[in-house]
Amino acid sequence: MNKAPVIAVSRHRMKTDGDGVTTLVCFHGCPLRCKWCINPFSFDENTKKNMLSPAELYQKTKIDSLYFLATGGGVTFGGGEPLLYADFLKEFRQECGNEWHLCAETSLNVPAENVIKAAECIDVFYVDCKDTNPEIYLSYTGKDNALMLENLRMLINAVGSGRIVVRLPLIPEYNTEEDRQKSKKLLTRMGVTRFDLFDYKIKERK
Ligand code: SF4
């Protein structure tokens, strides 16, 4: 049976992870190691994981179905990296049907085949791009960003730019407003139309 490691299920979120009322489901596992990671539990092997099948997760989340349907909300998958579990996401869509709004918060730094599968079942993608400059991305995440950019091109072709929001953070000690505007320009040329620009607040974590 297709099970995935779930580390948190957070109900009744309003407008933080998508439209309407949402339930955030966080998976364990992430290919990146961001210096100011927002959720280091997602790759700590000591984190308590709950191995769930799509049907089991549906049983846990369906309690809020009426809220989802009334507000245009649904389930947002985060982590960690939810696209590591693309088969699970597809099966979850079969469980919940087409009326729930499903979102994914992803770095897109995963195999292309996972992105293709997710494109078939996710309504809106929040792509945490970090920065398009390969050196900045490498020093901040420990990984190359070529795969992320390639996957983003493919995703735009597959689902259209209206279903993709690209997050561009200002990352203290790693990029500047000028870097961010360069990223925005390049991404706009690639066809991205929806951006979320914000600043990382890291003081309390230092
Ligand atoms: S992609 Fe997210 S979960 Fe993964 S290391 Fe970066 S901030 Fe942490």
Query: Quick one: CA torsion of 196, 92, 3, 112, rounded to 10 degrees?
Result: -50
**What confidence score (pLDDT) does residue 15 get?**
72
Q: What would the two tokens of residue 164 be?
A: 């993709």
Indicate if the pLDDT at residue 16 is higher than 90: no
Please state, rounded to an integer, the average pLDDT across all residues of the chain.
95
Give how far Cα 175 sits from Cα of 24, 135, 168, 172, Å.
29, 10, 11, 7
Mutation to probe ligand 1, out of 38, 109, 136, 137 (largest number of atoms < 8 A from CB): 38
Condensed to tens digits (0 to 9), the pLDDT of residues 140-149 reads 999 999 999 9
Nearest C-alpha neighbor of 187 from the set 116, 104, 127: 127
Give the domain ranges of the chain: 4-205
CA distance 76 to 173: 30
In this structure, the residue with its CA closest to atom 6 of ligand 1 is 34
What is the fold, at CATH topology level, of the domain defined by 4-205?
A: TIM Barrel (3.20.20)
Tell the residue number behind the tokens 């709004």, with chain if given. Answer: 101
